Every structure is written in structure tokens, then in C-alpha cells.
Amino acid sequence: MKITGAEILIESLKKEGVDTVFGIPGGVVLQIFDALYNEKDLRFILTRHEQGAAHAADGYARAKGKPGVALVTSGPGATNIVTGIANAHMDSIPIVVITGQVATRMIGNDAFQEADIVGITRPCTKYNFLVKDVDELAKTIKEAFYIASTGRPGPVLVDLPKDVSGARTDFVYPEKVSLRSYNPTYYGNKWQIKQAAQAIVRAKRPVIYAGGGVILSKASEALKELAEVNEIPVTLTLMGLGGFPGTHPLFLGMLGMHGTYAANMAVHDSDLLIAIGSRFDDRVTGKVTEFAPKAHIIHIDIDPTNIRKNIHVDTPIVGDVKNVLTELNKELKAFEESRGQGIKERKPWHAQIKAWEEEHPLAYKKSNKTIKPQYVIEKIYELTGGDAIVATDVGQHQMWVAQYFKFDRPGTNLTSGGLGTMGFGFPAAIGAQIACPDKLVFNVAGDGSFQMNVQELATAVLNKLPVKVAIINNGSLGMVRQWQELFFNRHYSGSILDGTPDYVKLAEAYGAVGLRAKSPSEVERVIKEAISIKRPVVMDFVVDPEENVFPMVPAGGANADMIFEEASQGEKEKGTGKKGRKNSVLPA
């Protein structure tokens, strides 16, 4: 029986196990929406902006570990979704985006709502397709999901012209995909793995530095085994948080620009750095020439372009992180007998790390008058028992979550790491809540970021998604304000958020619940109440507007030269760093 391209699309999505599609309709996708009309097995979630649809699909993918799907119209629908695609691209998140396109014979004519979305998204997708023939459609969808979810995952866009979704053909869904030009390397080179094992056995001051690849490849257990058996301390990137338990005694905290002193010092002094599913991002390395200067570097990554892109690597291993770690753990078993001795020789290293941890633990100046943002994060952690998915936006609050929420499980830390997209958190939380209906889902938001996708309150309310938004309301684009304070003579140019709405009333206007805490004593009550309400809740935490994120490596500086907040622990000397700076008073 011949069915339409629109129906083929829906059937193909179902074959891929898709249960939810996020998006917004429009002229050229009407046929597809018509096919969705009576569809029982596919849930369509109408977002209020296409960016929201992409981030929701992305949040869904991160929480569920399988591709998220978005469907939007041509032209403005397609261009609106680009930020969401770029975001998924930078963080290697598998999403499949279907965009409508004007009819094939109109393409290139500047037709109404035409945009060359394949051209526009070429550099920010893993791959994209323009389907010109309905007979190609099923195969294309199969390939789209295959490419999005294998190798180093990423977003794939399928541009579907109106006439193609209207044309009819027989539906045959291919069983397999074979692409002669796409063959990711899944298994590491045996010899290199052996080299790595030997380096690990020899090392006196080893550190593991792991990133989002551990989560994407579902390698947390293998990582834990590597760390525990060989007693190697672990630091994680922002994207890696949750890939190794945040409460584990071997965990050093995050590294990099706002990482812990212990993590940055340990990497700096290490004689062996084992980089796993991480890519030496500039926010991680600081000044590259002073990053892990004494270390032999092992780098395990599925994407060969990540290796030696920013930094010299001594032992490169291309492969799926989980496979490589499993092999490496096996290889290390050969050294079982000598292990005890090696571990003994590392005692001074562990002692040194402990000393660093004690010298500069993460700290902030507590207050019983104003709410400290870090206190809010600590309380959320405490009151959820850490058993929550936390999506963040971008800015200071994001860093405080990374520092103070101890993620124990993969897929619970949803953050925009690579692109740093304000407005990511709330729609991502919505996607995660749909993926995991029984989980407690928080969005820790900045007041600036929240306003970028606040319209999705309607989506949350309508779909009865009990997402808890915790706005860290500091009245400013805090991270920008912090940099201006520290490096631009306190010229708060464009960073003060005057004219912000009353978030409680705003929540209520959408039919959500609004709660507010203005003093530290109210924080706990507000969080508890929010958790007890099985509806979307917006919590407005009116926090200290001058709080800064510390420690901090100034952009381009070396990680070993961190600055600390003086005020946080009284006058303190710093490791090898420069003097910390005093907080300023904001202009009225």
C-alpha cells in the first residue's frame, strides 16, 4: 500500500523507538501534522519557541541516553532552531531535527518562508540531509538516527520539502545502515592500550581527567573500576559531572576555570594525565603551555580530531571510551601482583592532594542576612538527597551547581557546556521530565537566562510537568558582571537586569506555582514546598547580588594561578596565585 511521505516519516520515527516529538507546526509541515493527528504512539509536545523544542529534545536525549526529536516548519521555524542544534553539536548530543522545506521546485526561488537550512546548519550538525525523493525518505531517517547516535554523537537535520511529504510510495524501512564513508573506530589499538597500562603502573602522580564522553559512552562503571582498583584520583569537566560519583573519596571536583584548587593543582603536578572522553577545551586547560606540564598524557576519545588538537598527547587511543576502558582494566589485571607496591609508592601523592584540598576547599562566606547562591544549591542538594536531574542555564549559577551539587549518576547533570547557551536549562528540564516522568527535575536558572525561554512555562503547565525552576535572582547578568568587576574597572556595562518581572506573578500568570525566598531562613521551606507540589513551580531566590564565583582562573591564565575570594575565608594566602580581589558594591 502506498502511503504519504508524512506518514512514512511518522512510521519511521516509531520504528526508531521515538515516543516524543517536540516542535511547532507551520505551512510546509501541515501534511506531517495531519499524520500526527490521530497518532497514539507518538506524543507531540508543542513548545512555544523552536529553540525550546531543540533544547527539550536535547534534554530528553541527555536524560534518557537516546536521541531526542524535534519537528519544525521551514524558514523562521528552521532558523529559530539553529541555536539548539549548535548547542547539541558542541556537547555531542544525539538529536534528530526534522525541518519542513518549501516544495522542491520552489527551492532557490526565495519562496515564502524559504531558508537554506541545510546550508545554514552544515557547520553545526554532524550531518544533514535534503530529501528530494519520497523513495529516499525512510532510508534517510534510518541513516539520520544511525549517524546521530553512533560514533561521537551529534545532531542530524533532515530537511523535508512539502511535496516530498505529500508524495506517496510504499513504506519499506531498511533493516540496517551501511555507509562506506562513515566507520567510527570503536575499539582502541591493543598496543596503545598496553602502553597506557604500563604508564599507569609506572606513574607516581597519576590523575584521571574525564569528560562528557564517559557519559555518552555509558562508561561510568568502567571508569570507577579504573580509578578504584588503581587508586587514581579523578577530576571531571563540566560535561563529565555525574560520570564519576561526586561523593567518591577519589573525586577532586571539577577542574579548569572554576574548578577546585586540588583538581587544578593535581593536574598541574601530575606525572600521568589520563584524559578520557574529554577534549582539552580552553575553559579546562587555561594557558595550554602550562597545563599538566610534567605529565605523560594518555588521551582516550572516539573522535580522532580531538586528539592533539589543542595539546600534545603521548599515548593517543582512538575508540569508544567504554570499550577502551574495559580493555585497559583487563590489561591492568596483568599487574595485579605488583599493584600493591605501586599504590604504596603513591601515598605521598594522595597526601599532597589531601593537603591541597584542605588548603583551599570550596568555600563561600556564609550569611544569615542575605541568601548566598551557593547556599541555595547546597540546600537543593541536601533536600533532594542528590537524587534529582538538574538542568542549568549559563553563568554564575551554572558554576555554583557544578561546584556544590554532587552529581553521583550520569544523565543527571544537564548543562550547556560547549556553546554556553543561556536559556538552555528550562526547556532541557522539560525534555528531561518527559523522558523521566518519575524523576525529580530541577532547573537552576539565572534570572537572565530564565527570561530567554520563559515562554516554555506554558509547555510545562499544559503538559503537567512538575519541573522545579530555582531562579538564582541576582538582578544581573551575573557572570558578565563578575568579569566587569574583576577586569573592567567595575564598569557594569549592559549587565544589570533592571525591569525584571515579578517571577512569582509571572509563574502564576502561566498557571504555575510561584514561591519566593528573600532571606536564608526561607530557603529550606521554599525548596521543600516546591518538591511537595506536583506541578511546575518557579522559585525566586533573591540572592546576594555581589556574590562571585571562586576560585577562578582568569582567561588565558595558567590553572595553577587561581584567584580566590579574600572575603570568603578572611585574608588568605593563595597557592601560587595572585592576590584575590575584594568584592565591590554595585552601583545603585
Ligand X SMILES: Cc1ncc(C[n+]2csc(CCOP(=O)(O)OP(=O)(O)O)c2C)c(N)n1
Point out the residues that are catalytic. 50, 112-113, 162, 479
Looking at 114-122, 271-279, 339-347, 363-371, which segment touches other proteins (CB under 8 A)? 114-122
Contact 275, 251 (CB under 8 A): no
Dist CA 578 CA 152 (whole Å): 39
Q: In what order do the strands lie in the sheet with 441-446?
A: 413-414, 389-392, 441-446, 468-473, 537-542, 513-517
What amino acid is encoded at 417 in this protein?
Answer: G
Looking at 124-132, 219-227, 373-381, 567-575, which segment touches other proteins (CB under 8 A)? 124-132
Angle between helices 425-435 and 50-64 (to 10 degrees): 50
Q: Is 558 helix (H, G, I), strand (E, B) or coil?
A: strand
Q: Does 80 bind ligand X (CB under 6 A)?
A: no
> Pick from 8, 63, 95, 130: which binds other proteins (CB under 8 A)?
130
> Pick from 126, 162, 279, 346: which binds other proteins (CB under 8 A)?
126
472-491 binders of ligand X (CB under 6 A): 472, 474, 476-480
Which of other proteins, ligand X, none is residue 308 near (CB under 5 to 8 Å by kind)?
A: other proteins
Dist CA 289 CA 272 (whole Å): 16
Which of other proteins, ligand X, none is residue 309 near (CB under 5 to 8 Å by kind)?
A: other proteins
From the CA atom positions of the chain, what is the Rg in Å? Answer: 25
> Pick from 126, 360, 397, 468: which binds ligand X (CB under 6 A)?
397
308-327 binders of other proteins (CB under 8 A): 308-309
Q: How far is the CB of 129 from other proteins (least distance, A)?
A: 9
Q: How far is the CB of 179 from other proteins (least distance, A)?
A: 7
Q: Does 212 bind ligand X (CB under 6 A)?
A: no
Q: Does 395 bind ligand X (CB under 6 A)?
A: yes
Given the complex with other proteins, which of 107 and 486 has the nearer CB atom?
Answer: 107
Question: Locate cell 547546597: which residue?
Answer: 378
> Pick from 357, 447, 485, 547: which binds ligand X (CB under 6 A)?
447
Given the complex with other proteins, which of 125 and 165 has the nearer CB atom?
Answer: 125
Q: Which residues contact 313 (CB under 8 A, 6 or more apart)?
A: 275, 297, 298, 299, 307
> Pick from 179, 334, 355, 555: which binds other proteins (CB under 8 A)?
179
Q: How far is the CB of 123 from other proteins (least distance, A)?
A: 5
Closest to 27 measured CA to CA, from 133, 99, 124, 123: 99
> Pick from 2, 122, 354, 578: which binds other proteins (CB under 8 A)?
122
Q: Does 471 bind other proteins (CB under 8 A)?
A: no
Number of H helices, E strands in the chain: 24, 20
Dist CA 20 CA 139 (whole Å): 21
Which of ligand X, other proteins, none is residue 397 near (CB under 5 to 8 Å by kind)?
A: ligand X
> Pick from 51, 140, 403, 449: which binds ligand X (CB under 6 A)?
449
User: What values do phi and psi take at 338, rounded to 5?
Assistant: -85, -5
Given the complex with ligand X, which of 21 and 422 has the nearer CB atom?
Answer: 422
Q: Does 127 bind other proteins (CB under 8 A)?
A: yes
> Pick from 68, 153, 253, 446: which binds ligand X (CB under 6 A)?
446
Looking at 60-68, 129-137, 334-342, 441-449, which segment touches ligand X (CB under 6 A)? 441-449
Which of other proteins, ligand X, none is residue 446 near (CB under 5 to 8 Å by kind)?
A: ligand X
CA angle 401, 554, 447 (to 5 degrees): 40
Which of other proteins, ligand X, none is residue 206 near (CB under 5 to 8 Å by kind)?
A: none
Cell representation of residue 72: 519544525
Q: Does 151 bind ligand X (CB under 6 A)?
A: no
Dist CA 185 CA 188 (whole Å): 7
Looking at 47-55, 178-186, 262-270, 396-404, which segment touches other proteins (CB under 8 A)? 178-186
Question: How would DSSP label each residue in 106-167?
Answer: GTTS--TT---HHHHHGGGSSEEEE---HHHHHHHHHHHHHHHHSSS---EEEEEEHHHHH-
Q: Beta-carbon neighbour count of residue 51 at 10 Å? A: 25
> Pick from 74, 392, 396, 443: which binds ligand X (CB under 6 A)?
396
Q: Does 422 bind ligand X (CB under 6 A)?
A: yes
Which of other proteins, ligand X, none is residue 479 near (CB under 5 to 8 Å by kind)?
A: ligand X
Q: Does 182 bind other proteins (CB under 8 A)?
A: yes
Q: Does 214 bind ligand X (CB under 6 A)?
A: no
Looking at 38-46, 225-233, 417-425, 432-440, which segment touches ligand X (CB under 6 A)? 417-425
Looking at 124-132, 232-240, 390-398, 571-579, which segment touches ligand X (CB under 6 A)? 390-398
Q: Does 105 bind other proteins (CB under 8 A)?
A: no
Q: How far is the CB of 447 from ligand X (least distance, A)?
A: 5
CA angle 525, 367, 383 (to 5 degrees): 30
Surface-to-core class of residue 70, CB atoms within 10 Å of its CB (0-12 exposed, 13-18 middle, 19+ buried): buried
Q: Does 420 bind ligand X (CB under 6 A)?
A: yes
Q: How far is the CB of 331 from ligand X (least distance, A)?
A: 42
> Pick from 2, 105, 109, 119: which binds other proteins (CB under 8 A)?
119
User: Looking only at Cα atoms, what is the longest distance across the chain?
Assistant: 78
Element holding 397 (H helix, E strand): helix 396-404
Question: How would DSSP label each residue in 425-492?
Answer: HHHHHHHHHHH-TTS-EEEEEEHHHHTTSGGGHHHHHHTT---EEEEEE-SB-HHHHHHHHHHSTT--
Q: Does 17 bind other proteins (CB under 8 A)?
A: no
What amino acid is encoded at 582 in this protein?
Answer: K
Closest to 301 measured CA to CA, from 280, 327, 321, 329: 321
Given the complex with ligand X, which of 255 and 470 has the nearer CB atom?
Answer: 470
Dist CA 274 CA 267 (whole Å): 10
Q: How many chain residues touch ligand X (CB under 6 A)? A: 19
Judged by the rule CB under 8 A, the positions of this chain that interact with other proteins are 118-119, 122-123, 126-127, 130, 147, 179-182, 303-305, 307-309
Q: Which positions lie near ligand X, rule CB under 6 A? A: 393-397, 420-422, 446-449, 472, 474, 476-480
